[in-house]
């Protein structure tokens, strides 16, 4: 069990109180091991985004236990969770969320600045991450000069640059056409093959098939948790 | 980290150059006002000090006025002047003083100025020298003939660069021979020109202008090393005795020492300084609120950026610092412009008023520190708002 990265026991996340109470997560038990590629799916309002926020330490569980690499996240304050994100987590968003009017390279540098990496090392690491996503030649372009697919690749480079334990992707292909989506998914798949643990929320079956494990959520609960067909086929 | 944050602040300001400039206008005006005011005040005060030192800090002005509003009182006579000199050891010398506003004419040139009746001891009392010609002779002083000594300003008005000594001018109806020229003192404090002066013998002033032998004022110089207040009280008691004032009666004369004049000038300067300081204060307050306003706008505009920073691991304190530094850089940018503007303004005013321009490094440092302080105070609230944003909400912000 030493390779367990994420462990949830009876995790709930409740918004509001009384009549307006919403149980976005309603008793989640989950173990994710190092090197897994997990897709989370479910109808809208099923709690998949909340699950990703909790897993990404952007949010805290209302009750239950969430251990990240053995650390109980529920007892951490805001700043301590920020440190967890800084050192162990990388994020990829649907809307890319790059800093506007800031070059691709500087966007990728951002997490490294907060890691306190010296400028020279930072530039090397950021350039290497951009190279990994095949955008070394676009390093000095602003997001506005890049296509959607390229922007998302910059975002993936940013998530990678800090050398995280887990990459969390929230509908990474939601804004992209099929061709670009496939490119992004192949990129993520490649990173996973190199050992990166990836957790991805998506509502597209095709994209979920790139993962090795599919979690289906309904009403804040995990309804199904199984290997994807592709994973079964690969294993078979 | 700090270097990156400062670079970032400069970037953010440059991206909104016009907005940033308009925002800090209040700080610019406030700092410029403070710097100009302090610099001009310093120049004026330097000059007054120099002037008082030049005229001798031991100068005392005795005048025959009484009551709260300086109503004319029983005049002095020439015996009073002699008694002051003879009976008070601290008194170096004394000169009678009478003056009136008159128009002087030389040919087709004329000049309105203060005509002062006194005697040659006036030069000792005020510590002034003649650069040309001579003082009044005892004979002239006794008989009251029409001779005069000109100040530099009067000479320039009536004679240009020509030598006036030996020439005749008219003082109203009096034809008067110029016998001497005073050494120029330079511009006076608060625009008073000590060289815009004409001296005539006291006797002449009494006979030809005033029409009586009364003396309403006496200028007295104390000896070096004597105490100003001791001199003042000795003069007071002598005058009370000579004017037969009962112990329960108030003085019917007024004694004013240079110390007191300096104090009064300091009071006036203080009032002016206070007035300008309050204008500067209001301007800085408005400037600060402007910075707060624009920082709040900036925080709202950049909510998503804040969300991104929080997501990649920025702590609340780091976000707070980022926006605080931005506010401080913005405010100090205004401070620097205001500082330069203030010094320029002070230099222009100093030139115009004829006072020395005394830029002070301490003032520059103060303006710097003060504008940074404004940035911290008014930047704190917006920065705290940024730091408290919920990362999930911030990332969702459109």
Residue B370: name the closest of B57, B30, B2 by CA.
Answer: B30
Same domain? B172 vs B234: yes
User: For chain B, what is the domain count?
Assistant: 2
Same domain? B233 vs B120: yes
| Cβ–Cβ under 8 Å, residues B81 and B240 | no
pLDDT band at B331; cut points 50, 70, 90 = very high
Give the residue-averaged pLDDT of A199-207: 95
- Measured between CA atoms, how close is A81 to chain B, in angstroms? 8
Same domain? B268 vs B226: no
Q: Is A91 on the interface with B (CB under 8 A)?
A: yes
Same domain? B206 vs B230: yes
Structural tokens at position B163 = 């030598």
Residue B33 belongs to a domain: yes
Q: What is the pLDDT of residue B308?
A: 95
Residues 6+ away with beta carbon under 8 Å from B43: B346, B350, B355, B356, B357, B358
pLDDT of B25 > 50? The answer is yes
Q: Is A48 on the interface with B (CB under 8 A)?
A: no
Between CA B8 and CA A204 the distance in angstroms is 39
Give the angle B384-B385-B386 at the CA atoms, nearest 5°: 90
B107-127 pLDDT tens trace: 899 999 999 999 989 998 888
Q: What is the pLDDT of residue A149?
A: 94
Using CB atoms, pick whichever of B305, B314, B392 lies closest to residue A99: B305
Q: What is the pLDDT of residue B273?
A: 75
Same domain? B285 vs B166: no
Shortest CA distance from B315: residue in chain A: A79
Residue numbers in A near B387 (CB within 8 A): none
Domain span holding position A183: 4-235
Q: Kindly determine whether residue A93 and residue B395, on different chains, have CB atoms separated by under 8 Å.
A: yes
Q: Which of B199, B230, B252 is the last residue of a domain?
A: B252
Between CA B51 and CA A102 the distance in angstroms is 61
CA B348 from centre of chain: 15
Same domain? B9 vs B151: no
Q: Is A110 on the interface with B (CB under 8 A)?
A: yes
pLDDT band at B379; cut points 50, 70, 90 = very high
CA B123 from centre of chain: 26
Q: How many CA atoms lie within 13 A of B76 on its CB side?
A: 31
Q: Is A115 on the interface with B (CB under 8 A)?
A: yes
Q: What is the pLDDT of residue B356?
A: 83
Q: Is A83 on the interface with B (CB under 8 A)?
A: yes
Same domain? B110 vs B245: yes
Q: Is B387 on the interface with A (CB under 8 A)?
A: no
Return the CATH number at A96: 3.40.50.300
Element (H, E) at B312: none
Q: Kindly determine whether residue A114 and residue B311, on different chains, have CB atoms separated by under 8 Å.
A: no
Structural tokens at position B135 = 């003082």
Q: Is A36 on the interface with B (CB under 8 A)?
A: no
| ipTM confidence score | 0.95
Q: Which of A162-176, B191-205, B355-369 has the highest mean pLDDT?
A: A162-176
pLDDT, chain B, mean: 88
DSSP assignments along B173-239, one per residue: TEEEEEEEEEPP--BPGGG-BTTSEEEEEHHHIIIIII-S--B-EEEEEEPTTS-HHHHHHHHHHHH
- Measured between CA atoms, how close is B327 to chain A, in angstroms? 20
Q: What is the pLDDT of residue B189?
A: 46
CA B385 from centre of chain: 46
Q: Which of B252, B271, B286 is the last residue of a domain?
A: B252
Residue B154: name the closest of B120, B122, B199 by CA.
Answer: B199
């Amino acid at each position: 069990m030493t390779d367990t990265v994420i462990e949830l026991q009876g995790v709930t996340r409740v918004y509001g109180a009384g009549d307006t109470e919403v149980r976005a997560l309603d008793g989640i038990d989950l173990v994710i091991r190092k090197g897994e590629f997990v897709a989370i799916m479910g109808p809208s309002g099923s709690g998949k985004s909340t699950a990703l926020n909790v897993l990404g330490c952007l949010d805290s569980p209302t009750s239950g236990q969430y251990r990240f690499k053995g650390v109980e996240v529920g007892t951490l304050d805001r700043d301590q969770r920020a440190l967890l994100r800084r050192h162990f987590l990388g994020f990829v968003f649907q809307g890319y969320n790059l800093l506007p009017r800031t070059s691709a390279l500087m966007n990728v540098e951002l997490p490294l600045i907060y890691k306190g990496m010296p400028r020279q090392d930072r530039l090397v690491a950021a350039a290497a991450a951009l190279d990994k996503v095949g955008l070394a030649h676009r390093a000095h372009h602003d997001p506005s000069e890049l296509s959607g697919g390229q922007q998302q690749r910059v975002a993936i480079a940013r998530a990678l640059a800090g050398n995280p334990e887990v990459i969390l992707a929230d509908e990474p292909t939601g804004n992209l056409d099929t061709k670009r989506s496939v490119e992004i998914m192949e990129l993520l798949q490649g990173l996973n093959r190199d050992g990166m643990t990836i957790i991805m929320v998506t509502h597209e079956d095709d994209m979920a098939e790139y993962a090795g494990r599919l979690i289906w959520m309904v009403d804040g609960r995990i309804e199904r948790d199984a290997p994807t067909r592709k994973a079964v086929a690969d294993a078979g | 980290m700090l270097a990156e944050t400062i670079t970032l602040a400069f970037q953010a300001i440059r991206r909104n150059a016009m907005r940033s400039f308009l925002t800090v206008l209040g700080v610019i005006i406030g700092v410029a006002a403070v710097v100009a005011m302090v610099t001009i005040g310093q120049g004026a005060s330097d000059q007054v000090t120099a002037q008082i030192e030049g005229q001798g800090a031991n100068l005392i002005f005795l005048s025959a006025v009484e009551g709260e509003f300086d109503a004319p009182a029983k005049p002095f006579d020439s015996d009073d002047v002699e008694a002051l000199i003879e009976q008070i050891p601290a008194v170096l010398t004394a000169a009678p003083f009478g003056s009136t506003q008159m128009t002087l004419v030389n040919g087709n040139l004329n000049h309105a100025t203060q005509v002062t009746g006194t005697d040659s001891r006036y030069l000792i009392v005020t510590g002034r020298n003649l650069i040309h010609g001579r003082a009044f002779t005892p004979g002239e002083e006794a008989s009251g003939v029409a001779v005069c000594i000109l100040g530099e300003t009067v000479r320039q008005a009536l004679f240009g660069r020509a030598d006036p000594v030996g020439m005749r001018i008219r003082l109203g109806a009096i034809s008067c021979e110029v016998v001497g020229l005073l050494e120029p003192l330079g511009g006076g404090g608060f625009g008073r020109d000590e060289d815009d002066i004409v001296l005539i013998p006291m006797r002449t002033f009494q006979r030809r202008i005033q029409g009586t032998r009364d003396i309403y004022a006496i200028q007295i110089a104390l000896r070096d090393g004597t105490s100003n207040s001791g001199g003042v009280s000795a003069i007071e008691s002598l005058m009370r005795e000579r004017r037969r004032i009962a112990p329960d009666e108030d003085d019917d004369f007024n004694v004013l020492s240079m110390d007191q004049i300096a104090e009064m000038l300091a009071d006036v300067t203080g009032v002016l300084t206070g007035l300008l300081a309050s204008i500067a204060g209001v301007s800085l307050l408005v400037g600060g609120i402007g910075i707060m306003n624009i920082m709040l706008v900036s925080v709202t505009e950049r909510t998503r950026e804040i969300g991104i920073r929080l997501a990649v691991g920025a702590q609340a304190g780091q976000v707070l610092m980022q926006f605080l530094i931005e506010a401080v850089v913005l405010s100090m940018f205004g401070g620097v412009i205001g500082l330069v503007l203030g010094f320029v303004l002070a230099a222009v005013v100093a030139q115009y008023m004829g006072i020395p321009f005394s830029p002070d490094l301490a003032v520059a440092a103060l303006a710097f520190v003060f504008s940074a302080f404004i940035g911290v105070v008014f930047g704190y609230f917006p920065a705290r708002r940024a730091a408290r944003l919920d990362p999930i909400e911030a990332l969702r912000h459109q």
